[in-house]
Each structure stands twice: as structure tokens, then as C-alpha cells.
């Protein structure tokens, strides 16, 4: 990328300043594209759904994990959640936050069995020993978060 070219330029030179501006413009474009994507996705979700259930993630704590930090930072989860919340107020919709400690990926969405062996993030799919249903970790967690959120909303 342009950062490599920048590091090879002599500090204080005119060419370095030109390259610095080019790098800044590329980063600005990426930032603008990300904001645009988040705005469009959050608007679409709010317009198409009366209630949105999200997991109340502690993004700051998750950023402490060096393996996840760069990926989490680049997708701007906190900003996306904030957009969902303020747009839900505009459109009169509900955003329900499900507590972080709810075992959404460990609980079978079909029968409710809690499988403690699924805590490992490397396990992407699993079979419920109780009812025999095969689950994708993320899809199962989404169904459980929706069900828990609707339960919280009706309470």
C-alpha cells in the first residue's frame, strides 16, 4: 500500500509530504466507505424490523484480546449499535439488548439444552446430545438472542 512508499521517503522532503497526503486520502476514503455502509445497513434493518435484538457486547473488553482487536476495531461494532439505537428512536422501533452473559451459542435453540462443551470458539458447529439437532454456532446464537430479546421485551 502507500504506507510502504511513505516509509521510504526522507523525512521533511516534499515527496514525503505528497505521499503522506496520498496515504491520508486513502484512509479517509476507507473511513467514509465504512460509515456509509454502516448507515445504509442500520437504516435498512430499522426500516424492515419492528424489534431488533442484539447482544450487549462489552466491545472495550473484547478489544483487549489482541487476536480479536484489529477485526473488531475495523468493523466498528459500537458505532453500528449506536446507529441502530438512535435510528430506532426516529422510527419508533425497539432495540433490545440481551445480557452478555446469556449463553446464546451454548444453548440448543430447538430444545433448550445447554452444552458446556461449546464454549470453545474454535467449535463452529455442534450436535445437540439431547435432541440431535445440528447447529451452526452463529445461527444458533442468533436464534437464541432473538428469542431471549423478545422474552425481555414482553416482560
pLDDT per residue, tens digit, the chain (155 aa), is 566 666 666 777 777 788 888 889 999 999 999 999 999 999 999 999 999 999 998 877 777 877 777 777 777 888 999 999 999 999 999 999 999 899 999 999 999 999 988 888 889 999 999 999 999 999 999 999 999 999 999 97
* Contacts of 40 by beta carbon, 8 Å cutoff, 6+ apart: none
Nearest to 98 by CA among 144, 47, 48: 144
- What's the pLDDT at 22? 87
Lookup: cell for 106: 451454548
Q: What share of the chain is helix, strand, coil (3-state, %, to 5)?
A: 60, 10, 30
Q: What is the pTM of this model?
A: 0.79
Half-sphere exposure of 51 (CA within 13 A, CB side): 14
DSSP assignment letter at 138: H
Closest CA to 50 of 86, 83, 96, 82: 96
Amino acid at each position: 500500500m502507500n504506507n510502504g512508499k511513505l516509509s521510504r521517503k526522507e523525512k521533511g522532503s516534499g515527496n514525503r509530504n505528497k505521499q503522506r497526503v496520498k496515504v491520508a486520502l486513502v484512509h479517509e476514503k476507507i473511513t467514509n466507505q465504512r460509515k456509509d455502509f454502516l448507515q445504509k445497513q442500520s437504516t435498512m434493518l430499522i426500516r424492515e424490523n419492528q424489534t431488533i435484538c442484539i447482544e450487549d457486547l462489552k466491545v472495550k473488553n473484547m478489544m483487549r484480546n489482541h487476536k480479536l482487536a484489529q477485526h473488531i476495531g475495523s468493523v466498528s461494532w459500537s458505532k453500528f449499535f449506536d446507529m441502530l439505537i438512535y435510528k430506532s428512536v426516529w422510527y419508533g422501533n425497539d432495540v433490545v439488548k440481551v445480557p452478555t452473559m446469556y449463553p446464546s451459542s451454548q444453548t440448543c435453540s430447538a430444545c433448550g439444552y445447554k452444552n458446556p462443551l461449546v464454549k470453545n470458539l474454535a467449535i463452529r458447529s455442534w450436535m445437540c446430545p439431547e435432541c440431535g439437532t445440528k447447529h451452526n454456532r452463529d445461527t444458533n446464537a442468533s436464534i437464541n438472542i432473538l428469542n431471549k430479546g423478545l422474552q425481555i421485551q414482553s416482560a
